[in-house]
Structure 1
Amino acid sequence: MTDTPEAGAQNAAPQMKMQILAQYVRDLSFENILAQKGASGDTTPEVSVNVGLDVKKRQAEHQYEVIMKTKVNAKTKEGGQPLFHVELEYAGVFHIEGVPEDQMHPFLLIECPRQLFPFARRVISDVTRDGSFPPLNLENIDFVALYRQQLAQMQAQAAQKADA
């Protein structure tokens, strides 16, 4: 029997496969505080952005729902008066195969959000523009750093519970 490249490929580890089955806005809230108060003057915003991630295993085999929860608060630089508030939950349903079990958690919380982020960015840009503000284009997010930060928080919480 001869070793062919095809036989070698079949004996190798299974190929990683990711497919986005759906992506959608789960929840969206935009509050235009500036317009509600009838405020005027300097509206140069100081923007704070918080991002959280959630993963849910779906009933179908190899399917996961990844939810990116983004909160944006904008205040005036002078005086700190609130301008607007955006909350967006943007989700994707992913079919994932071939990822080793010990790498699945970081894969779901790093690679999947990378796929969703450009679309969530566009939604936030559109809603702020439609709310009479300049479009807010979020800067890229380092999902590896965000993952590490979440791991550190979980470990700190586990340590607190163990000490209690």
Structure 2
Amino acid sequence: MTIAIGDKLPAATFKEKTPDGPVEITTDELFKGKRVVVFGVPGAFTPTCSLNHLPGYLENRDAILARGVDDIAVVSVNDWHVMGAWAQSSGGMGKIHFLADWDASFTTALGLQADLSAGGLGVRSKRYSMLVEDGKVKTLNVEDMTSQATVSSAATMLEQL
């Protein structure tokens, strides 16, 4: 079953690359008592993710934070090395969290997994965005196609804030 507005996020532990190496970050650490924008992507360095989805959130970071958001995170079914390299190459390191859902456990618990095996990618995430307040989903925007980044875009999220 897919997570819905009003649902509490499932407990999960992500890995994130920092200048000091990898750290684990739990959903409680990231969301408890905070207002956080999260967006999920099928894969770091993939065309739509790198050329459209991520840049929108980086460009609109300050505007999103100015609307009472405490943090922004991107989640992908990749390992922390790949997510760290993506953070570094995109200029996003230290600006938003690049969270590795390496085994797709969080993505699957959300019910937002996508089988992209036909394209050689295996199980990945659907493309989505959500506003989470104190661990509960307040808005949820899921793309019909992983190649699209309109419903889950930073511009849409700004309108919803």
| TM-score normalized by the length of structure 1 | 0.26
Structure showing the higher helix proportion among its residues: 1
| TM-score normalized by the length of structure 2 | 0.27
Larger RCO, structures 1/2 (Cα 8 Å, 6+ apart): 2
Structure showing the higher strand proportion among its residues: 1
